[in-house]
């Protein structure tokens, strides 16, 4: 594991400081874009100045959340001279085109996951970032959840030696339909559920294990929503290049919206780290509340973006990890579709 500090250790500004704000454009005005806009409002040094969406009413509504922000339906306005960083929050089939255009225009890019729908497009994005010399961050928010930052720091400090075995369980509510919008159910646009949401877990493990997945076997399951056109739950077995193994269990079908159960065990040559949200104090509010161990990830990621733009930190999502996690997710989707183990190199 790299010994580079995790986000939070290299902040260039304290919460009350104001320097020259980095001007941010957001492309896409859906639910995830709104989350980014809310996070931007809470981080000094970043300022939303423009929103782009093909639907004028959606673009205008999101821009209205930030004082002075403008909007348009033309993506080219998101890398004009008035913009420093472009946040690409559209559905994945447009990620490559928009990201490459922004990078070639000299803008930094914050790209929603999955980075692309195939490895070739991811390579185009990575090549454009390298050629432009501009930062590229992929929004893998699981890395920025407090518990994972803590575990990553412990691994970096040698707490468990070399990671060899991992078990990751994420259960989330609620029962579909209603959980996904139309484009997410269209695998030609989302990449499929195993790839679209599984990439979070595979990216986290690629980072924590400091290794690349080479072979996967995924099993999809329709649990409480058998009529859905996509599985609501799945398991993935992962083998890494160095021989380490991981088991991933993801379920998006708990009955109550907002319910979370999270577990992670990471075992290495000299020790073991583990966490379960079941051990955390429970809120007694009328509606479920996310565990403290995973709260605030979007804000922490946004601070990290600010620090990268300030030159105080390198992007936490390194290029080889962006590629490795995406390839593993695509291989897992292929495995789920075809019911067989898949070597990751098959999708590269």
Amino acid 161: pLDDT: 98
Amino acid 89: pLDDT: 98
pLDDT at 147 over 90: yes
**Which of the pair, 228 or 214, is modelled with greater confidence?**
214
Amino acid 346: pLDDT: 98
Q: Report the pLDDT averaged over residues 320-335.
A: 98
pLDDT at 43 over 80: yes
Amino acid 175: pLDDT: 57
Amino acid 176: pLDDT: 58
Amino acid 200: pLDDT: 96
Q: Report the pLDDT averaged over residues 81-108.
A: 97
Q: Report the pLDDT averaged over residues 9-24.
A: 62
| Of 29, 43, 2, 51, the residue nearest 310 (C-alpha) | 43
Give the Cα-Cα-Cα angle 40, 46, 52 (nearest 5 degrees): 65
pLDDT at 4 over 90: no
Q: How confident is residue 13, by pLDDT bands cut at 50, 70 and 90?
A: low
Rounded to an integer, what distance in angstroms lies between the CA atom of residue 341 and that of residue 332?
8
Amino acid 222: pLDDT: 84
pLDDT at 166 over 50: yes
Amino acid 112: pLDDT: 98
**Which of the pair, 113 or 227, is modelled with greater confidence?**
113
Residue whose entry in the numeric block shows the structure tokens 């981080």: 43
Q: How confident is residue 15, by pLDDT bands cut at 50, 70 and 90?
A: very low
Alpha-carbon distance values, 301 to 36, 42, 71, 180, 237 (Å): 10, 12, 24, 24, 28
215-249 per-residue burial string, b: 16 or more CB within 10 A, e: under 16: bbbbebebeebeebebbbbbbbbbbbeeebebebe
Q: Report the pLDDT averaged over residues 117-136.
A: 98
pLDDT tens track for 264-303: 999 999 999 999 998 887 655 566 677 888 899 999 999 9
Percent of the chain surpassing pLDDT 90: 78
Amino acid 165: pLDDT: 98
**Which of the pair, 291 or 137, is modelled with greater confidence?**
137
Percent of the chain surpassing pLDDT 70: 90
Amino acid 1: pLDDT: 44
Q: What is the pTM of this model?
A: 0.92
Asked if 71 and 60 count as a contact pair (C-beta separation under 8 A), the reply is yes
pLDDT at 10 over 70: no
pLDDT at 8 over 50: no
- In this structure, the chain runs to a length of 348
**Which of the pair, 162 or 10, is modelled with greater confidence?**
162
């Amino acid at each position: 594991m790299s010994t580079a500090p995790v986000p939070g250790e290299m902040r260039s500004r304290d919460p009350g400081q104001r320097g020259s704000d980095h001007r941010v454009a957001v492309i896409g005005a859906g639910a995830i874009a709104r989350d980014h806009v809310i996070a931007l409002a809470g981080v000094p040094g970043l300022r939303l100045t423009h929103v782009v969406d093909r639907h004028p009413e959606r673009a205008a509504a999101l821009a209205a959340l930030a004082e002075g922000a403008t909007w348009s339906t033309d993506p080219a306005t998101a890398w004009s001279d008035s913009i420093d960083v472009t946040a690409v929050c559209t559905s994945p089939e447009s990620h490559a085109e928009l990201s490459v255009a922004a990078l070639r225009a000299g803008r930094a890019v914050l790209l929603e996951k999955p980075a692309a729908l195939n490895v070739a497009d991811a390579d185009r994005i990575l090549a454009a970032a390298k050629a432009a010399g501009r930062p590229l961050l992929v929004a893998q928010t699981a890395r920025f959840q407090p518990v994972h930052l803590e575990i990553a720091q412990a691994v970096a400090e040698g707490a468990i030696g070399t990671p060899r075995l991992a078990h990751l369980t994420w259960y989330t509510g609620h029962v579909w339909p209603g959980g996904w919008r139309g484009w997410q159910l269209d695998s030609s646009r989302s990449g499929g559920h195993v790839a679209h949401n599984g990439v979070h877990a595979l990216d986290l493990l690629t980072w924590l294990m400091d290794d690349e997945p080479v072979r996967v076997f995924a099993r999809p399951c329709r649990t409480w929503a058998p009529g859905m056109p996509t599985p609501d739950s799945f398991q993935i077995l992962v083998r890494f290049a160095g021989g380490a193994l991981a088991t991933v269990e993801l379920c998006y079908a708990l009955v109550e919206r907002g319910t979370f159960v999270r577990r992670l065990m990471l075992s290495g040559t000299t020790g073991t780290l583990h966490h379960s949200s079941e051990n955390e104090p429970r809120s007694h509010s009328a509606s479920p509340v996310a565990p403290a161990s995973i709260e605030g990830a979007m804000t922490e990621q946004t601070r990290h973006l600010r620090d990268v733009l300030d030159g105080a930190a390198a992007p936490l999502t390194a290029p080889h990890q962006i590629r490795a996690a995406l390839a593993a997710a695509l291989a897992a989707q292929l495995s789920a579709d075809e019911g067989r183990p898949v070597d990751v190199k098959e999708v590269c």
